[in-house]
Amino acid sequence: MSIILGLETSCDETAAAVVKDGRIVLASELNSQTDIHAKFGGVVPEVAARYHLESVNEIIDLALTNSGVRPEDLDAVACTQGPGLIGTLLVGLSAAKAISWVFQKPLLAVDHLYAHICANYIDTDLAPPFICLLVSGGHTQTIHVKTHKDWEILGQTLDDAAGEAYDKVARLLGLGYPGGPMVDKMAQEGNPLAFKFPEGNVKGYDFSFSGLKTSVLRTVEKLPQPLPVNDLAASFQDAVNRVLFKKTVQAARELQVGKIVLAGGVAANKDLRRRFTELSGEGDISVFIPAMKYCTDNAAMVASCAYFAGVETSLDCMAYSRQSSGATL
């Protein structure tokens, strides 16, 4: 049995979790700074780092107390080492280092993107091989995860990440920050066929969302006020999700991999979840989607990642960073 304390501070969530054997969450606590950054229209790195500093000890205490695990009984401490904001990462890394040193526990520094993928191991029996669609605020990738140690990035965005496109279009529609959840909400009341936006079809498994974003901008410029925000949101969302779905399924079929896994903040999108859930009902491909709270940034995925990449396989968890050219500390 292995019990790991995970910390996540790569952006604007201060999170700590205690996870057993990579799959069972004993406690997962989170302090979101969304309201603080909303008035700036996006995350202010220096402000974020200072709030992490204020709440990190409290969140760690809460996670340990709620899990019923004493720090001396932990098997390891894990934290996010990147990619992310340097000042915020340092807060989590320093806290993890201190706990690791005081209680003489191994320190496992994990890659944030790899951790998003590992959110799918929570409460499931999932094991590689699978095709992962990783859609976050900074990344959009289709990955063939062959084993815990071996994966191949099949395709990625040539410009904006899917989450970034959601955030930019949300701003354009006056929906504020964070954009993705607001577009998701508005789109539920809108008609996806109201506007015809380009899918951004590039070759192979790659993606491109900048043309789509410009197309929404040009359309908005020509429309009278008030804007039909719901229809615009629904049509934009349909264009993004259509191509994400199509290319992921294409990869699974062409490589004859029977499992598709969604990861990252955009995996919280209701329309995207519906598309893949419906596919799963068809039989030949099974689909794994993390619970909503484990799609966006959280620490349970960090502890799970440390287990599967670090403890289970004795693998250096930073390997994914080197492959995906993510920042390292």
Q: How far apart are CA 188 and CA 197, in angstroms?
A: 17
Which residues contact residue 292 at a Cβ distance below 8 angstroms, ignoring those fewer than 6 apart? 268
Site mask for ligand KG4 (CB under 6 A), range 53-92, x = bound: ----------------------------------------
State the residues that interact with Zn ion by CB under 5 A: 136, 297
Which option in Zn ion, ligand KG4, none does residue 179 bind, with CB closer than 5 to 8 A by kind? ligand KG4
Which option in Zn ion, ligand KG4, none does residue 160 bind, with CB closer than 5 to 8 A by kind? none
Among residues 115, 121, 130, 119, which one has the least CA distance to residue 286?
Answer: 130
The yes or no reply on residue 265 touching ligand KG4 (CB under 6 A) is yes
> What is the nearest approach in angstroms of Zn ion to the Cβ of residue 302?
10
Residue among 67, 140, 142, 296 that touches ligand KG4 (CB under 6 A): 296
Amino acid, single-letter form, for residue 168: K
Listed ranges 34-42, 97-105, 136-144, 208-216: which one lies at the site for ligand KG4 (CB under 6 A): 136-144
- Pairing type for strands 286-288 and 24-32 reads unpaired
Question: Does the bond joining 192 to the residue before it have cis omega, within 30 degrees of 0?
Answer: no
The yes or no reply on residue 8 touching ligand KG4 (CB under 6 A) is no
Please say which residue, 22 or 84, places its beta carbon nearer to ligand KG4. Answer: 84
> What is the nearest approach in angstroms of ligand KG4 to the Cβ of residue 170?
7
- Three-class SS state of 225: coil
> What is the nearest approach in angstroms of ligand KG4 to the Cβ of residue 241?
9
Which residues contact residue 221 at a Cβ distance below 8 angstroms, ignoring those fewer than 6 apart? none
Q: How far apart are CA 142 and CA 138, in angstroms?
A: 14
Contact 135, 263 (CB under 8 A): yes
Q: Which of residues 180-209 bind ligand KG4 (CB under 6 A)?
A: 180-181, 184
Exposed, middle or buried, 232 (CB in 10 Å: 0-12/13-18/19+)? buried
Binding stretches for ligand KG4 (CB under 6 A): 11, 116, 136-138, 163, 166-167, 178-181, 184, 264-266, 268-269, 296-297
